[in-house]
Amino acid sequence: MPQMKCMSNKFVKALAAFTVLMASCTNTQQKAVTGDSIISKPVPGSAIHYDSSKRYIFLTWDDSPQPPGTINCKKIFREENVKATFFSVGFNVVGPQKKRIIDSLLKDYPQFLVANHSFSHGFKDNYKKFYALPDSAYNDFIKNEKELGIGVKIIRLPGRNTWASNGKLSGQESKGPLVKKLDSSGYKIIGWDIEWAQHSKMKAPKQSAVEMAAEVNRKLEDGNTVEQNAIVILSHDRLFEKTQFADSLRKFISILKQDPRNVFETIDHYPLVQRK
């Protein structure tokens, strides 16, 4: 009996040790998986290495979500395997479908980045009032950041081509109190080098894909951009609602991809944003 009791105790101890070991292995595996997922998914705003032989193209689309335009643009960017930034407006996030669009863009980093274009789009395009009330305008950006869960301090002013970073301010409204307040709070304000504008008579892009690509190349070759070897392109999701105009966007990207120097990036990797 004492011998059996001794064997029983040894078995219980061995079983306990085995259980602890298995639990440890499981926890290690879970940590490894969790760790790998964290390591493998880049954090918005992380620095990249610039290649001086390349030309960096920043596609920045304003006023999302605006389905079906936003959905079409996202689909084309994904199929063409290019990165893009959506400057989003909280006021436009009405209903579950639009909320899902924003959530999907947030989850799709590093291919897509969501940045801040104010909650109300400048008090519903009342720009004069918006910029005359800097504290209210500032809070409008803060509200948009919180409502949409925007994880980067990157802003585009509604209706203004303005640049600001670390006290260096330029462009429209750059001397105004709102720009100074945003800049001193650590926000980067991004304007644009070239706009794929809206047609004056309909919801459509003004320039053809060929014309737009030629403009981009000309500006880069002439060095007529805010940052060397980098160009910020502005357009709006709504311009690409119809199939014919969505096809124009795809053609534009295809033309640019033919030049091996061209690299598509999100705006958190723009030199002005990365510069400390």
Tens-place pLDDT, residues 149-181: 999 999 999 999 999 999 999 999 999 999 999
The span from the first CA to the last CA of the chain, in angstroms, equals 77
Rounded to an integer, what distance in angstroms lies between the CA atom of residue 157 and that of residue 179? Answer: 9
Nearest partner of 190 among 140, 115, 121, 133, judged by Cα: 115
- Whether the pLDDT of residue 47 is over 70: the answer is yes
Q: What is the pTM of this model?
A: 0.85
Nearest partner of 157 among 176, 205, 59, judged by Cα: 176
**Residue 190: C-alpha distances to residues 48, 95, 257, 268 (Å):** 18, 29, 24, 10
Residue 13: the pLDDT is 55
- Whether the pLDDT of residue 271 is over 70: the answer is yes
Q: What pLDDT, in 10s, does the model give residues 194-245?
A: 999 999 889 899 999 999 999 999 999 999 999 999 999 999 999 999 999 9
Place of tokens 């502005």: 234
Give the chain's mean pLDDT.
89
- Whether the pLDDT of residue 36 is over 50: the answer is no
Place of tokens 């639009």: 98
Residue 249: the pLDDT is 98
264: Cβ–Cβ under 8 A, 6 or more apart, which residues? 56, 57, 58, 59, 82, 83, 84
Residue 45: the pLDDT is 83
Residue 229: the pLDDT is 97
Measured over all CA atoms, what is the biggest interatomic distance in the chain, rounded to whole angstroms?
99
Rounded to an integer, what distance in angstroms lies between the CA atom of residue 272 and that of residue 256? Answer: 23
Q: What pLDDT, in 10s, does the model give residues 201-211?
A: 898 999 999 99
